[in-house]
Structure 1
Amino acid sequence: MTHIPHGAHLIAGLRVKGASVFAASPATGPVHHYSEGTPDHVAQAAMAAEAAFDAYSATSRETRAAFLGQIAQEIDARGDAITRVGAQETGLPEARLIGERGRMTGQLRLFADHIRKGDYLDRRHDPALLDRQPLPRPDMRMVQRPIGPVAVFGASNFPLAFSVGGGDTAAALAAGCPVVVKGHPAHPGTGELVGDAIAAAIVTCGLHPGVFSLVQGSTHQMGAALVTHPLIRAVGFTGSLRAGLALFDLCAARPDPIPFFGELGSVNPMFILPEALAIRGDAIAKGWAASLTMGAGQFCTNPGLAILIDGNAADAFVATATAALQDSAAQLMLADSIAAGFRAGRDLVAGSAGVTTLLSGDSAGRHAAPCLYEVSADTWLANDDLAHEVFGPLGLIIRAKDAAQVAVIARSLQGQLTCTLHLEDGDMAQAQSLMPVLERKAGRVLANGFPTGVEVADSMVHGGPYPASTNFGATSVGTLSIRRFLRPVCYQNLPEALLPIT
């Protein structure tokens, strides 16, 4: 059965339409129209979220855990429609969307289990010491409390796991914060279906309807209105560096600045150390080619840089990687704008002095073909343009003179989501010398693998120093992500009846 979208915003349980619409641009299938959000729609959603906050923030952990589980159940009930509409809008294969939906619902259930345990609240109690000299100590209790309504921006590259019902929304709801989501215009139908699932869960659980609102839109004006609305207390964002910085600046310039948790971009460098290169160079090159082209390279953990020491083993690595990428056909990208951005980034790299083109396939329209380039470390260190993410299937090999220059490259890196070491036992000394540098550069350091799999787990960190993210102490994946939307409050000498339910 074909799903016909209603095309409305979802504000406090009501379907709301405006005077203007925007047209989706699906990869296949019919074109549908969706209501264009305005600052007035944003204000309605923010006021509804504020109206819901007192009651929702006071709910028990069990109530919120049951709510998260019900959202997962409602999403699964709409699974076939979500997969069908998502495939039409994004061009992603059904298997990828089914897997991503499983990740989204699995994350909701993981967060439900996590908040039931209560450890995330970091509860502390210093009992009163009335007889202490020279001064008595009062009774003090500390606990993490919800911060208020949270704005979430749907991501372009993950229509499910990082969008309407994805990690930021799940974390904020788990923390006890109502959410206002700006849906991404690249997949509004998919977002609408997930939004309807969350709304159904709210009704089933008997919660205030303002706990969740979804406002669709294709304009920058609506995003600006959302982050500057005085009732919004924090923002979760996954997207480009340019868009993220614009929103970050708006958050900082408010009369009451609010935290902006942005995951913005990363080149995710791989350091291929000499013994690993000599022993497993061919396997690493083939694995890298597969990681670069996975999902047309549209992953924020796509390993765009390979750093190795020049020599015969490096020559063999380059030949194998080039051959492997030549066998990869052009792939459909998630949106026309993403494809255009990829071509612009490719042209910047290819046109830079000292860069050698190893492979540059035909990337026309919404398709992207793999591209591979190489450069000396001296040239790379002298050209800051080569250190920036190109979102898509593009790899850059950096040939260093020796281990000392590899260390210079590591120290010159900006903040990253990930850094990878490929090593064997004989590389251990060099790896040990690099580790103090890499752990300051990235939120996740891994060995002998590829970073494009981001496990949803307690220990995962998906964030890093700027510009990988705007808050080096936070993660957008894993149970620690809930802490972004909490703040510590100390209760001194308060009667039990006035303490929050925790």
Structure 2
Amino acid sequence: MTTTPEELDAFAAAAAAAAPLWRASARADRAGWLRAIAAEVDRHVDELVTIAADETRLDPGRLRGEVARTTGQLRLFAEAVEEGGFLELTIDDAAPDAVPPRPELRRLLVGVGPVAVFAASNFPFAFSVVGGDTASALAAGNPVIVKAHSGHPRLSARTAELAVRALTDAGAPDGSLAVVTGREAGNVLVQHPVVRAAGFTGSLSGGRALFDLASGRPDPIPFYGELGSVNPVVVTAAAVAVRGEELAGGLAASFTQGSGQFCTKPGVVFVPAGAGFEDMVAARAGATIGGPLLTERITRAYPEGIVHLLADPSVELLATGTAVDGGARPHVLTTDATAVAARADVLLEECFGPVTLLVRYRDDAELHRALAAVPGSLTATLHAEDTDDVDTLLALLQERAGRVLFQGWPTGVAVTWSQQHGGPWPATTSLHTSVGVTAIRRFLRPLTFQDAPGRLLPDDLRNEALATLPHRRNGILVVPVDHGDR
């Protein structure tokens, strides 16, 4: 069932009424609301996993782990709210003798207002109704309206029902969370005058269309989209010589994990020509198994993407795995660095599913030219040895991605304070992360009070609160040893 314009307007009005209450909420209350959602989801994990497995074809074990990640990040944001550093509290005391005279200035970050969140297909919990975008927006002090993904409608509805009940029981304002369905509702949502920011995880085409709608409003709003990523990997000849078989096994496991439906899948791997690594990968890939894909649309698009790549004269099929239960057969394709440098728009287009493209390079010059053509990605990975001179190579990888890995594989995104899950276009539409605590920064705006009477300041900017909160005063960072009762 598609949300009607009248229903969406009602959700928006409720969110608008809730926004000032969320913005002014005590940090302890806000943290409690986040924990209430987490507890309610955990209480119903068996029911939710059953629904998700039926709708998404994903393994129940993987889904159960995803629920734990989802509720864990809700609790992590609750801790961040209590800690208070996200507020970026900054005070400049009045200095009447300065030239020019300086007034007292007190600055903090506040919630932007109602946030639209567009759920993803491949993570029905962690990037869906109460996933990272929703958790970070709520933590920032904003009500949220989620556009549910068509790939798991029953799960979205049930998750929303549980979350709304948890919020209500915990004392959060009415209108704190709502869910809408249907593509047209999503288009209207991102243009609705009540909505002040949007978060999106999905395809390049879908995300770009919504980005353009958000930018084309009479009052443009920030649109934080995670759109597409090929996640380049570079393997040096020395690394192949020392641990080639290990690397081949790691690659085979990584590009087929979740049937290749992770946004961090290593989609293009630069390998030294003549080092034998392609044969090692082919041997490992032959034993891989591909399961069902998430939706019928994705299932149809995967073989079309393979055919599109094979149509290039430089591309050859190196190996295939086995498909089970009507799933997607893993593919390993090969090409060369010269072709990639010349036709990156064709050869480096993301193909969603269990496929990776090995790119042979003969020397550093070829490798560097090809890497310069790689589009922005979420991750870049380097497998090298201590004997390798990788300074130029590392500089290129840093230009291409938001997270650079060494001696590992990108299909795994820890939810932490220092995580960066974002990269240059087209990986994302901004420089912010969508995973980890600093994802909260997307849904905050700075606000400064000049010469304000203490009684009119927000609670967290008053001197009593500053005694317990990290802040910067007259340029000096102050970190209280004991935050006391948060």
Stretches of structure 1 lacking an aligned partner (at least 5 in a row):
1-34
Q: 2:43 is matched with which residue?
A: 77
Q: Does 1:450 align with 2:409?
A: yes
8 Å CA contact 1:68, 1:108 repeated in 2: yes
C-alpha deviations, 1:34-55, integer Å up to 9, x for none? Answer: x222332222211111011111
Instruction: Name the aligned partner's letter for residue 349 of structure 2.
Output: H
Match of 1:464 among 419, 423, 436: 423
- Tell me whether 1:205 sits opposite 2:205 in the alignment: no
Match of 2:353 in 1: 392
Cross-structure match for 1:235? 198
Kindly indicate whether residue 281 of structure 2 is the aligned counterpart of residue 318 of structure 1: no
Task: Find the aligned partners of 1:303 and 1:369 in 2 and give their Cα distance.
Answer: 17
* Number of the residue aligned with 1:264: 227
- Answer whether contact 2:230 2:348 (CA < 8 A) is retained: yes
Amino acid at match of 2:64: I
How do 1:403-482 residues align onto structure 2 when only pairs under 5 Å count? 403-427=364-388, 429=389, 431-472=390-431, 474-482=432-440
Question: For the Cα contact (< 8 Å) 2:271–2:277, is it kept in 1?
Answer: no
Q: Structure 1 363/245 Cα, relative in aligned 2: closer, same or farther at 3 Å?
A: farther
Q: Give 1:165's aligned amino acid.
A: V
Aligned positions of 1:172-183 closer than 5 A: 172-183=137-148
Find the aligned partners of 2:308 and 2:459 in 1 and give their Cα distance: 55
Q: Check 1:336–1:133 CA distance in 2 against 1; reply closer, same or farther (3 A cut).
A: closer
- Once the two structures are overlaid, the 10-residue window that deviates more, 437-446 or 361-370, is 361-370
Equivalent residue, structure 1, for 2:477 = none
- Cα shift at 1:439: 1.3
Tell me the CA shift for residue 193 of structure 1. 2.1
Q: 1:361: how far off?
A: 5.8
Deviation at 1:96, TM superposition (A): 0.3
Post-superposition shift, 1:222? 1.4
- Partner residue of 1:11? none
Q: Give how far 1:360 is off.
A: 4.4
Cα separation, 2, equivalents of 1:454 and 1:402: 32
Residue among 60, 77, 80 paired with 1:111: 77
Cα 1:134–1:335 change in 2 (3 A) is closer
- C-alpha separation between the residues in 2 aligned to 1:457 and 1:187? 27
Contact preservation (8 Å) 1:163, 1:191: yes
Residue matched to 1:160: 125
TM-score, structure 2 normalization: 0.92
Give the superposition deviation at 1:364.
9.9
Separation (CA, whole Å) in 1 of partners of 2:282 and 2:6: 52
Q: Match for residue 330 of structure 2?
A: 370
User: 2:288, 2:322 within 8 Å by CA — same for their partners in 1?
Assistant: no
Percent sequence identity is 44
The worse-fitting range, judged by mean Cα deviation, of 98-107 and 355-364 is 355-364
1:64 paired with 2:24, answer no
1:496 corresponding residue in structure 2: 454
Letter in 2 for 1:200: R
Q: How does 1:216-295 map to 2 (within 5 A)?
A: 216-217=181-182, 220-295=183-258
Alignment of 1:102 onto 2:60: no
Which residue in the other structure is 1:27 paired with? none
Q: Distance in 2 between matches of 1:133 and 1:251?
A: 43
Distance 2:229 2:99 in 1: 55
Q: Normalised by the size of structure 1, how large is the TM-score?
A: 0.89
| 8 Å Cα contact 2:289/2:324 also seen in 1 | no
Which blocks of at least 5 consecutive residues in structure 2 are unaligned? Answer: 461-486
Cα distance between partner residues in 1 of 2:135 and 2:208: 24
Aligned to 1:358: 318
Q: How many Å apart are 1:339 and its aligned residue?
A: 1.2
Superposed CA offset, 1:432-472 (max 9, x none):
22222211211100000000000000000000010000002
Q: Which of 56, 79, 91 is the aligned partner of 1:125?
A: 91
Distance 1:39 1:322 in 2: 53
How far the C-alpha of 1:363 sits from its partner, in A, is 6.7
Change (3 A) 1:82 1:246: same
Supply the distance in 2 between the matched residues of 1:208 and 1:371 (Cα, whole angstroms).
50
Instruction: Judge conservation of contact 2:272–2:361 (CA < 8 Å) in 1.
Output: yes
Q: Is the 8 A contact 1:309 1:406 kept in 2?
A: no
Counterpart CA distance in 2 for 1:483 and 1:318 is: 43
